[in-house]
A and B are shown apart, each in its own frame.
Chain A
């Protein structure tokens, strides 16, 4: 049953003015909320827990379980914070969702906040993406006007304020504690756990932080039930999710499918690698996940299947690279990104990415020194597993996996620039225009 698309979150993306309240309601929107408000908060939490929804932001932590960690006897207010700081190279699911159907998210926020007894919720959106921010803010305004937010929601007696916050442009603020710091007006750097956000998160109060897609999935569980949700996916990875395919694929875009679909099936759904070319490597879950090659096409795209391959489901962002692509160049670009986005708090990430970037720049330019590839791997191993937060692990994942699969290509960098070894024009989609 994993061979078909299962549009739930993406179902209304193609409808006319899908981002409006009217359009969302016309296709059954806010039914989940009405259902939730007939239940007790605990019952909502239990339903989501039983359904088996796992976090769609990368780590795959069970969402309902996270909610149940909120100490309800804590006298401080409870907060729900939605992580919309989608910034990872290749990842493109939350932003289109917020663009196309912001009310799915808003409905999810109301239900989730209700479940944890929060009366204030925040949606933290990556600052660079002005359009989705406007769409979500407009949806929130509509929801307030329709009595879906504010005091006494739909006559239920439940109150919720929802604040849409634009970040200031930092990848690290997708890390939940850095996000909370940023939201509170502090420096966007991760902080120590414990205390965990569930106990002392935003303003030192119990806080649940969930990814946009996780929260957006909640209304459908309320509307259609846990059995429906569990009918999709695998034993441990229940339900459906949005896979984003980009790069050298015939039809790039968002594909919503049950967890457990294989990469081969997904690639076929997207029309395969661009015509006349073959797959060289791909990321399974964004640039932070170790890359895989054509040999791994039958991997099931769920939490367990990818873990078995030594990589991760991550944000389910498949970047597809064909044989024209220089893996050295790709790795260099990724590492430059992590160097730029390192928050600077801990030594390995701050200093290590600075060093990796310089070695990779040399190798790309064909100016590498013998031993540089070993040094690259060695420096990467100095960083991995030693950093304060997982950003650095993500930063070196591409380096170690790329060298593991394509060591010779890196060694070419001792003598030959990557742009001579694999001319970059060949890998652009519009290569014909620049070919001589």
Chain B
């Protein structure tokens, strides 16, 4: 027996657990269930509900405790003898007494309570409670429900004050605006009047509430737990790879809970992943193919639509681009990769519907694809993490939670290369390495790192020319470990599937003859030179050099120059595969409707390259086809069979490719720009809850988003003559946009930060990329202006 293990006896069963393990966990290890409410394995123990009392006849020192002890706060000790309610009358009595006390003020509204049917209190009351209450006195009552945010409602009468929610808010999310107020029998969960519980993680409190006290405005009263069918799946909202449990009824998803995934999201999910699943329920859902006739999109039959697509694509073979967006499953991405190469005979394919560069593509091919180096567990153990152009709370919330846990529990030190110390960075206790967009290269060059440093790099590094080159230099110089964490769920899968103009599946460079030859066995002979990347494709399509585009799940606003995208869509022949009528689909010549993610199977690869299964949650008989099936039909109509027609077969096809052992793509070194823009430089990133179309319909969720504000330093406020203004107008070559002004002390001078896609305030509309210069001017309060 090693020194760090202790052996004890619980209900006569001998169990060995690591030193420091609480008795309740030791009992679980022995397969013994102890009732509990406040205990939660991922929260610090509190010992508040007292439901888990056990009898300890020997504390390991030969003496027992005269009183029953809470197993959630008592550490297991060598030689300890503990008896749970299963074997001790005293423990059983204590538990029964506590249960009775918990129920005296609890309403008997189980029949109308959301939790009824999956409620620990209900279950324990049925198992161990009295048939009839002895309590004949007056119950505590409250007005109900009390909203703690637009999204989360509190029924105080049902609350057993276990403080799981308040501890979650404080310890896990770092948003301690949900707290206890009052004392004694009047103690309750509450918020400050003007500070609602706005947290990106607020939905977790609904899930961990052991009673029906916390409910979500979205799900409340919409289903009974016993009518729901649960399916495990992987979240499509970001590249974290969170495992979810999706509950559906009558062909409709009712709610999504965090799944249990200790290696990934543990038992948490962000609110976007939890509540942002209704976007396809609007009027714009596509179920029938559309073809442009006489300038208007008209519903047609599938054969008509395929014929129209063939008519447009056939003359454009070899002059077609494929834009796949970043949200496809690995299987669908592979289908597009196959479709582009095998059917359209082109390498013009790119998954990046965002700011992108050649330098980034080269870096991804050389350093990222197929080279997973860091896992969530590594973050737990890490000594130092540096965030590079990456805001985990906004861009990968599960990574944020894991980092926060490591900071709290493991002493992790975090530094962030960013223009200011964001809310998320502050919650991570991160040291700010201040850098505006143009200074990132210098910050990377000056960064001290070693092989114990983990660099978490976001996709926004592409906004800084020379950024990825500096990163490559840093990796070579220091041996630091790297994880590239994109925002979208499908980007790693798209990389692996070869959805880049210079990259074939399995990290094979297009310009490597051996690599090409391996793929050619499956796809036939391939062009030897790289295709066009996304930027080049849009420019070429707009100018008429590229004759057709096949698109999936992209939006004009995703790009730095939406007007150019619109021109490209207008000029080229466009086949759009979509779930909803988007701006892109509306401009297409042929629109082919496809299944929602919840209707198909597949795989997401998260930032760790970890496989996350996407399972079919609803199976409605009247649905379109999967994207893979539609591509297969289109390929067949074009005369070149795709080779597969289902996601499963696509996966099998990808797996038939041998593991690539050849040379990887080489890095493209770019020198940083020396001519820095004069004036105030624009910095920006997308926030978790913004104008994303995936959030359509999730009004309660979006209402909890932080207000969209512009941030500048006190110094910049003075130099720009904004000392008295509360609003600021940013002006670029194409327009201007106004934000409330917040002076942020940690902000780099001569930089302004605004959210990229605030509702109704698209940064793309002003025509300035991140890193470009904007003109600032004082603006009146738009609300007051409207009143006057």
Say yes or no: is A385 at the interface (Cβ < 8 Å to chain B): yes
Beta-carbon nearest neighbor of A385 in chain B: B67
B187 close to A192 (CB less than 8 A): no
- In the bound complex, residues from chain B placing their C-beta under 8 Å from that of A385 are 66-68
B184 close to A382 (CB less than 8 A): no
Quick check: which of B98-106, B601-609, B740-748 contacts chain A, the rest being far away?
Answer: B98-106
Q: Which residues of chain B (83-102) have a CB below 8 Å from chain A? A: 94, 97-98, 100-102
- Which of B49, B97, B135, B140 is A346 in contact with, Cβ under 8 Å? B49
A342 close to B101 (CB less than 8 A): no
A-B interface contact total, Cβ < 8 Å: 95
Tell me, rounded to whole Å, the shortest Cβ–Cβ distance linking B192 to chain A: 14
- Which of A192, A342, A382, A387 is B45 in contact with, Cβ under 8 Å? A192
A354 close to B185 (CB less than 8 A): yes
A382 close to B98 (CB less than 8 A): yes
Beta-carbon nearest neighbor of B95 in chain A: A386
- Which of B98, B104, B180, B187 is A386 in contact with, Cβ under 8 Å? B98
- In the bound complex, residues from chain B placing their C-beta under 8 Å from that of A344 are 161, 180, 182-187
Tell me, rounded to whole Å, the shortest Cβ–Cβ distance linking A357 to chain B: 9
- Which of B46, B101, B161, B184 is A355 in contact with, Cβ under 8 Å? B101
A343 close to B187 (CB less than 8 A): yes
Say yes or no: is A369 at the interface (Cβ < 8 Å to chain B): yes
User: In the bound complex, how far is the Cα of B158 from the Cα of A158, in angstroms?
Assistant: 55
User: In the bound complex, how far is the Cα of B49 from the Cα of A346, in angstroms?
Assistant: 5
Main secondary structure of the interface of B (DSSP, over half): loop
User: In the bound complex, how far is the Cα of B45 from the Cα of A342, in angstroms?
Assistant: 21
B183 close to A192 (CB less than 8 A): no
Per-residue contact bits, chain A 176-194, to B (CB 8 Å; 1 contact, 0 not): 0000000000011000100
- In the bound complex, residues from chain B placing their C-beta under 8 Å from that of A354 are 104-105, 140, 184-185
Beta-carbon nearest neighbor of B166 in chain A: A187
Per-residue contact bits, chain A 152-192, to B (CB 8 Å; 1 contact, 0 not): 00000000000000000010100000000000000110001
Say yes or no: is A375 at the interface (Cβ < 8 Å to chain B): yes
Tell me, rounded to whole Å, the shortest Cβ–Cβ distance linking A349 to chain B: 8
| Contact (A348, B50) CB under 8 Å given A192-B73, A339-B184 | yes
B98 close to A355 (CB less than 8 A): no
Per-residue contact bits, chain A 320-358, to B (CB 8 Å; 1 contact, 0 not): 000000000000000000011111111110111111001
User: In the bound complex, how far is the Cα of B98 from the Cα of A352, in angstroms?
Assistant: 9
- In the bound complex, residues from chain B placing their C-beta under 8 Å from that of A359 are 137
| Contact (A192, B47) CB under 8 Å given A355-B104, A358-B137 | yes
- Which of B67, B98, B134, B140 is A375 in contact with, Cβ under 8 Å? B134
Say yes or no: is B51 at the interface (Cβ < 8 Å to chain A): yes
- Which of B53, B100, B135, B161 is A350 in contact with, Cβ under 8 Å? B161
Say yes or no: is B127 at the interface (Cβ < 8 Å to chain A): no
Q: Which of B135, B138, B140 has the most CB of A within 10 A?
A: B135
- Which of B51, B138, B182 is A347 in contact with, Cβ under 8 Å? B51
Tell me, rounded to whole Å, the shortest Cβ–Cβ distance linking B49 to chain A: 5
B160 close to A347 (CB less than 8 A): yes
| Contact (A352, B101) CB under 8 Å given A170-B183, A192-B46, A341-B184 | yes
Say yes or no: is B722 at the interface (Cβ < 8 Å to chain A): no
- In the bound complex, residues from chain A placing their C-beta under 8 Å from that of B50 are 346-348, 386-388
User: In the bound complex, how far is the Cα of B104 from the Cα of A347, in angstroms?
Assistant: 11
User: In the bound complex, how far is the Cα of B47 from the Cα of A381, in angstroms?
Assistant: 19
User: In the bound complex, how far is the Cα of B48 from the Cα of A412, in angstroms?
Assistant: 36
A369 close to B184 (CB less than 8 A): no
Beta-carbon nearest neighbor of B44 in chain A: A192
A386 close to B97 (CB less than 8 A): yes
Per-residue contact bits, chain A 379-391, to B (CB 8 Å; 1 contact, 0 not): 0011101111000
User: In the bound complex, how far is the Cα of B186 from the Cα of A339, in angstroms?
Assistant: 10
Q: Which residues of chain A (276-303) have a CB below 8 Å from chain B? A: none
B73 close to A382 (CB less than 8 A): no
Beta-carbon nearest neighbor of A375 in chain B: B134
A342 close to B185 (CB less than 8 A): yes
- In the bound complex, residues from chain A placing their C-beta under 8 Å from that of B61 are none
B53 close to A386 (CB less than 8 A): yes
Tell me, rounded to whole Å, the shortest Cβ–Cβ distance linking A307 to chain B: 13
Say yes or no: is B136 at the interface (Cβ < 8 Å to chain A): yes
Tell me, rounded to whole Å, the shortest Cβ–Cβ distance linking A103 to chain B: 35
Q: Which residues of chain A (82-122) have a CB below 8 Å from chain B? A: none
B185 close to A386 (CB less than 8 A): no
B101 close to A347 (CB less than 8 A): yes
- In the bound complex, residues from chain A placing their C-beta under 8 Å from that of B160 are 347
Q: Which of A348, A350, A353 has the most CB of B within 10 A?
A: A350
- In the bound complex, residues from chain B placing their C-beta under 8 Å from that of A341 are 184
User: In the bound complex, how far is the Cα of B98 from the Cα of A358, in angstroms?
Assistant: 18
- In the bound complex, residues from chain B placing their C-beta under 8 Å from that of A353 are 184-185
Beta-carbon nearest neighbor of A188 in chain B: B183
- In the bound complex, residues from chain A placing their C-beta under 8 Å from that of B137 are 355, 358-359, 362
- In the bound complex, residues from chain A placing their C-beta under 8 Å from that of B66 are 385
Q: Which residues of chain B (154-203) have a CB below 8 Å from chain A? A: 160-161, 179-180, 182-187
- In the bound complex, residues from chain B placing their C-beta under 8 Å from that of A382 are 97-98, 100-101
User: In the bound complex, how far is the Cα of B187 from the Cα of A341, in angstroms?
Assistant: 11
- In the bound complex, residues from chain B placing their C-beta under 8 Å from that of A347 are 48-51, 98, 101-102, 160-161
Q: Which residues of chain B (39-75) have a CB below 8 Å from chain A? A: 45-51, 53, 66-68, 73
B184 close to A351 (CB less than 8 A): no
User: In the bound complex, how far is the Cα of B104 from the Cα of A382, in angstroms?
Assistant: 13
User: In the bound complex, how far is the Cα of B183 from the Cα of A368, in angstroms?
Assistant: 28
Tell me, rounded to whole Å, the shortest Cβ–Cβ distance linking B11 to chain A: 20
B187 close to A350 (CB less than 8 A): yes
| Contact (A386, B140) CB under 8 Å given A342-B185, A347-B50, A355-B104 | no
A346 close to B48 (CB less than 8 A): yes
- In the bound complex, residues from chain A placing their C-beta under 8 Å from that of B101 are 347-348, 351-352, 355, 382-383
User: In the bound complex, how far is the Cα of B183 from the Cα of A343, in angstroms?
Assistant: 5
- In the bound complex, residues from chain B placing their C-beta under 8 Å from that of A343 are 183-184, 187
Beta-carbon nearest neighbor of B66 in chain A: A385
- In the bound complex, residues from chain B placing their C-beta under 8 Å from that of A386 are 50, 53, 67-68, 94, 97-98
- Which of A188, A348, A369 is B98 in contact with, Cβ under 8 Å? A348
- In the bound complex, residues from chain B placing their C-beta under 8 Å from that of A383 are 101
User: In the bound complex, how far is the Cα of B54 from the Cα of A291, in angstroms?
Assistant: 30
- In the bound complex, residues from chain B placing their C-beta under 8 Å from that of A346 are 47-50
User: In the bound complex, how far is the Cα of B66 from the Cα of A292, in angstroms?
Assistant: 23
B184 close to A350 (CB less than 8 A): yes
Q: Which of A343, A348, A358, A387 has the most CB of B within 10 A?
A: A348
Tell me, rounded to whole Å, the shortest Cβ–Cβ distance linking B140 to chain A: 7
B73 close to A358 (CB less than 8 A): no
A351 close to B185 (CB less than 8 A): yes
Tell me, rounded to whole Å, the shortest Cβ–Cβ distance linking B682 to chain A: 40
Beta-carbon nearest neighbor of A340 in chain B: B184
Tell me, rounded to whole Å, the shortest Cβ–Cβ distance linking A409 to chain B: 21
Beta-carbon nearest neighbor of B45 in chain A: A192
User: In the bound complex, how far is the Cα of B49 from the Cα of A345, in angstroms?
Assistant: 8
B104 close to A342 (CB less than 8 A): no
- In the bound complex, residues from chain B placing their C-beta under 8 Å from that of A351 are 101-102, 104-105, 185
- In the bound complex, residues from chain B placing their C-beta under 8 Å from that of A348 are 50, 97-98, 101
Tell me, rounded to whole Å, the shortest Cβ–Cβ distance linking A299 to chain B: 22
Q: Which of A351, A352, A388 has the most CB of B within 10 A?
A: A351
- In the bound complex, residues from chain B placing their C-beta under 8 Å from that of A342 are 183-185
User: In the bound complex, how far is the Cα of B51 from the Cα of A387, in angstroms?
Assistant: 10
- In the bound complex, residues from chain A placing their C-beta under 8 Å from that of B104 are 351, 354-355
Beta-carbon nearest neighbor of B97 in chain A: A382
| Contact (A350, B185) CB under 8 Å given A192-B46, A355-B137, A386-B53 | yes
Q: Which of A187, A343, A354, A355 has the most CB of B within 10 A?
A: A354
15 A-B pairs whose Cβ atoms sit less than 8 Å apart in the complex: A170-B183, A188-B183, A192-B73, A342-B183, A344-B161, A344-B182, A347-B49, A347-B51, A347-B98, A347-B101, A347-B160, A354-B140, A355-B104, A383-B101, A386-B67
| Given A188-B183, A344-B185, A385-B68, 7 additional A-B pairs, CB 8 A | A172-B183, A192-B73, A345-B48, A345-B161, A355-B101, A382-B97, A386-B98
Which 5 A-B pairs rank lowest in CB-CB distance, beginning with the nearest?
Answer: A344-B187, A382-B97, A358-B137, A342-B184, A385-B67
